[in-house]
């Protein structure tokens, strides 16, 4: 079944402009329109799995025209985005009762989804930048949505550092256009292959790495994230950690390195270094945190390190012309962990929002024994904690196991050891969360805490089930070949990745 790719941008964009017209007087109508939109995007994304198409905008021909590209990698990212967006939007029906201007929140949320989907589908470097800015500006406004001192400060820091990252990317796009005469990724890749890398292209690539590294919050580009994630409303924290840093950061970095510039041994080591630094520094900074959402924010940095490490090992093996099986395994582990992290980290942020809503605090030391009052939230948080720590049989265990196996097969034994160590420290960190939030004695001032509303429970239950069910993506060959392997094949194909053009 052929899916018109423009719908992934047009649907959320159209709904985003309709919602302010509904206004806050019909609050539930606005919420259900937004939920119908994210639900429709989820159905379309699932139908797009396995498709390979290009949608040409207007009558312009390539390389001048704007095109949207669907392949195995973009299909996987569309599904990931749609799953998290649907869960976060469902959660927000009741959660956003705490705030005013619901229609504006929903409109900004869908504008962010529009930008994310545009980045994923864009086959043109400049339009990738345009969609990236749409998502970034909307997310900046959402981080400061509460309008308190903390939220506005975090939003300002996010805006400043995000603008720096965007500037790096824009300069790199300008350099690429000046040296190749094209902006379409396929034509740029062809020009780079014909001329080989030179100093100008290498400088443009370094700007891309810095710019997308800022968007992905990789160490040492991570300073904005620990403030932005705790300050945002819980559904937005779920989107920022579950989708935004992946689509605007890791996805853009992987697409450019593998499919436009081509892998090399130095690039492989750069990705590995960024991955290891993020894993280690992120997890040790998280251990010392007592603010629930800030702790989760630092774990987002650490978990992104796993993804980039897998991509780096795969790039290194491919550049050395090693065994393609082990390169494929490393990239599979990285992409699988990207999808897994989207689910369990979104669930963790939603549970933190449920806890904050019930208790009025994010400080771990002021909580305890909440499983007595919030049994469903406690169970969902336990599932997500086991998943992020890599406890079998939850999904995080399998992606981490694949990364360890790939590192061993590449004879990078130190990286395998670091991966296991970081996973162990992550487990200790979430044992602390369980001990101080859900176990122990219930404080007197929390004895009236109440469980979340029905729609919030459904959203958390949906993601908790996925934390277990997604293990089947690697355990069942049919699912692995349908969902994950096409994305791996796109990256392994490198600059030779090509798609048959289809015009509607």
Domain limits for position 345:
264-470
Instruction: Give the C-alpha separation, 216 to 210, whole Å.
Output: 10
pLDDT confidence band for 475 (50 / 70 / 90)? confident
5, part of any domain? no
> Tens digits of per-residue pLDDT, 270-281?
999 999 999 999
Let me know if 447 is exposed, middle or buried by CB neighbors in 10 A (0-12, 13-18, 19+): exposed
Residue 498 has pLDDT above 60, yes or no: no
**Mean pLDDT of all residues in 12-18:** 92
C-alpha atoms less than 13 angstroms from C-alpha of 400 in its C-beta half-sphere: 27
The pLDDT tens digits for 235-269 are 888 888 888 888 888 999 999 999 888 888 999 99
Task: pLDDT band for 10, please (50, 70, 90 cuts).
Answer: very high
Q: How many domains does the chain have?
A: 1
| 188-226: pLDDT as tens digits | 888 888 887 888 899 999 999 999 999 988 988 888 888
The verdict on residue 446 lying in a domain is yes
The winner for highest mean pLDDT among 79-88, 173-182, 196-205 is 79-88
The reply to whether 244 falls in a domain is no
Q: Is 56 helix (H, G, I), strand (E, B) or coil?
A: strand
Residue at 249 is within a domain: no
Q: Is residue 183 one of the residues assigned to a domain?
A: no
The CA dihedral of 417, 422, 424, 429, to the nearest 10 degrees, is 170
Helices marked H in 3-148 — which ranges?
A: 7-22, 27-48, 72-95, 102-121, 125-143
pTM score over 0.75? yes
In a domain, 24, yes or no: no
Residues 349-408 pLDDT 10s: 999 988 888 888 888 888 888 888 889 999 999 999 999 998 988 998 999 999 999 999
Q: Residues of the chain with pLDDT > 70: what percent?
A: 95
The predicted pLDDT at position 499 comes to 40
504 pLDDT more than 60: no
Q: How far apart are CA 152 and CA 472, in angstroms?
A: 42
Residue 126 placed within a domain: no
In a domain, 463, yes or no: yes
């Amino acid at each position: 079944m052929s899916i018109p790719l423009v719908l992934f941008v047009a649907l959320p964009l159209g709904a985003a402009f309709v919602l302010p017209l509904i206004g806050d007087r019909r609050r539930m109508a606005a919420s259900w329109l937004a939920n119908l939109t994210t639900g429709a995007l989820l159905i379309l994304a699932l139908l797009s799995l396995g498709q390979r198409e290009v949608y040409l905008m207007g009558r312009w021909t390539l390389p001048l025209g704007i095109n949207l590209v669907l392949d195995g990698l973009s299909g996987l990212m569309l599904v990931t985005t749609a799953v998290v967006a649907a869960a976060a939007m469902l959660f927000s029906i009741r959660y956003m009762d705490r705030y005013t201007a619901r229609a504006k929140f929903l409109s900004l949320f869908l504008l962010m989804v529009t930008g994310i989907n545009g980045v994923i589908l864009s086959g043109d470097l400049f339009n990738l930048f345009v969609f990236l800015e749409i998502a970034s500006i909307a997310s900046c406004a959402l981080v400061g949505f509460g309008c308190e001192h903390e939220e506005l400060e975090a939003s300002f820091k996010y805006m400043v550092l995000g603008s720096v990252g965007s500037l790096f990317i824009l300069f790199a796009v300008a350099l690429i256009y000046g040296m190749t005469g094209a902006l379409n990724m396929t034509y740029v890749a062809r020009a780079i292959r014909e001329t080989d890398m030179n100093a100008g292209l290498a400088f443009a690539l370094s700007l891309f790495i810095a710019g997308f590294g800022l968007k992905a919050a990789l160490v040492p580009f991570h300073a904005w994230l620990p403030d932005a994630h705790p300050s945002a409303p819980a559904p937005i924290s779920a989107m920022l950690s579950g989708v935004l840093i992946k689509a605007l950061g890791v996805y853009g970095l992987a697409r450019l390195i593998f499919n436009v510039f081509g892998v090399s041994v130095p690039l492989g080591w750069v990705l590995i270094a960024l991955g290891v630094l993020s894993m280690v520094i992120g997890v040790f900074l998280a251990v010392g945190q007592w603010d629930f959402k800030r702790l989760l924010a630092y774990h987002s940095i650490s978990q992104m390190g796993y993804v980039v490490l897998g991509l780096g090992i795969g790039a290194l093996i491919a550049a050395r012309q090693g065994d393609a099986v082990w390169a494929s395994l490393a990239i599979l582990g990285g992409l699988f962990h990207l999808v897994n992290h989207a689910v369990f980290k979104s669930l963790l942020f939603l549970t933190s929002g449920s806890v904050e809503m019930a208790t009025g605090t994010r400080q771990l030391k002021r909580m305890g024994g909440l499983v007595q009052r919030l049994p469903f939230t406690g169970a969902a948080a336990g599932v997500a904690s086991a998943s992020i720590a890599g406890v079998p049989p939850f999904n995080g265990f399998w992606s981490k196991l694949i990364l360890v196996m790939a590192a061993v097969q590449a004879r990078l034994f130190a990286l395998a050891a670091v991966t296991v160590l970081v996973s162990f420290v992550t487990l200790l960190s979430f044992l602390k969360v369980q001990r101080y939030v859900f176990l122990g004695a219930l404080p007197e001032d929390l004895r009236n805490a109440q469980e979340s509303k029905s729609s919030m429970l459904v959203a958390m239950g949906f993601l908790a089930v996925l934390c277990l069910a997604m293990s089947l993506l690697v355990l069942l060959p049919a699912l692995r070949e349908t969902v994950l392997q096409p994305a791996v094949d796109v990256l392994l194909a490198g600059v030779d990745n090509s798609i048959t053009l289809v015009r509607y």
